[in-house]
Amino acid sequence: MRLDVVTIFPEYLEPLNVSLVGKARARGQLDVRVHDLRAWTYDRHHTVDDTPYGGGPGMVMKPEPWGEALDEIIASGRSASDAGPWDGTSSEVADSGDADQTNLPTLVVPTPSGRPFTQELAAELATKRWLVFTPARYEGIDRRVIEEYGERTELHEVSIGDYVLAGGEAPVLVIVEAVARLLPGVLGNAQSHRDDSFAPGSMSDLLEGPVYTKPPEWRGRGIPEVLLSGHHERIARWRRDQALLRTRSHRPDLIERCDPDTLDRHDLAT
Ligand code: 6GU
């Protein structure tokens, strides 16, 4: 998968060199390209923002640098091989130069007014061969940029939660990590995300309960007896009860929303 990020703070994306995403890059599973938006400005001060039409506080990011940056990045993908390895399940055809979307990226626009980023959207983005992220500072990007590229490409405006950050760079790190770990071969063990909290069809969308490892006693605290019992059925039941209790305490909304058929008699008694 190819990932491009256009930002006025390229150094904010340095963590993409580390850990899971860094290793996926080193293995050639991810082709990450970070671009400085100011490379597409031509005045002495490399201006990327201006005052909002209609007045009000803050600044708005000017459309021209974004338009030139996105045009150039999109044009760089006009030959299909530029997007790196692909598993062959989708059409990878020679560039015909016409308006088909074969070699166009999916744009991801981080914004607090976007649709909520969920595991489901992460899984959808993980099926794409090319994502382009446009993290903004200030009060956001001139709307005409979103309109223009929303007509030319698939585009998702995405929020990572109900709080306000100073810019979209941290959300890009969040989204890229959530997507990268779903790519085939990136996580060591294909089972490791099967039971994730929020994974579709996992422990019926409950939060995960507590976990323990050696030593068997630490600062006078032991391990729940059942985990030492070797009784797999009782262990599974205990884990489910713990997941239910934790979900009821931290995320009662998930229990309200869940399919009642996924709860058994024991669940209802917990
Ligand atoms: Cl995607 N951007 C900003 N600036 N703030 C946010 C956000 C995004 N998601 C939640 N808060």
Burial of 113-131, coded b for 16+ CB within 10 Å and e otherwise, reads ebeebebebbeebbebbbb
Helix or strand holding residue 130 (H, E) = strand 130-133
12 marked ligand binding residue: no
Q: Is the pLDDT at 92 greater than 60, yes or no? A: no
Q: What is the pTM of this model?
A: 0.90
Cα angle value 218/220/224 (rounded, 5°)? 75
Could you give the residue range(s) of every CATH 3.40.1280.10 domain in the chain?
2-190
Please identify which residue in the block is written with the tokens 């990045």. Answer: 73
Does the annotation list 160 as a binding residue?
yes
Cis link prior to 116 (omega < 30° from 0)?
no
Complex ipTM? 0.98
Residue of 8, 61, 160, 175 with the most ligand 1 atoms within 8 Å of its CB, for mutation: 160
- Confidence grade of residue 93 (pLDDT, cut at 50, 70, 90): very low
Quote the ligand 1 centre to 156 CA distance (angstroms). 13
- In the chain, CATH 1.10.1270.20 covers 194-269
- pLDDT tens digits along 34-68: 999 999 999 999 999 999 999 999 999 999 999 99
C-alpha span between 88 and 68 (Å, rounded): 31
CA dist., res. 248 & res. 206, Å (int)? 9
Query: Which atom of ligand 1 lies closest to the CA of 160?
Result: 9
Which CATH code for domain 194-269?
A: 1.10.1270.20
Catalytic residue set: 112, 139, 181, 196
To the question of whether residue 164 is assigned a binding role by annotation, the answer is yes
| Domain covering 2-190 in this structure, CATH number | 3.40.1280.10
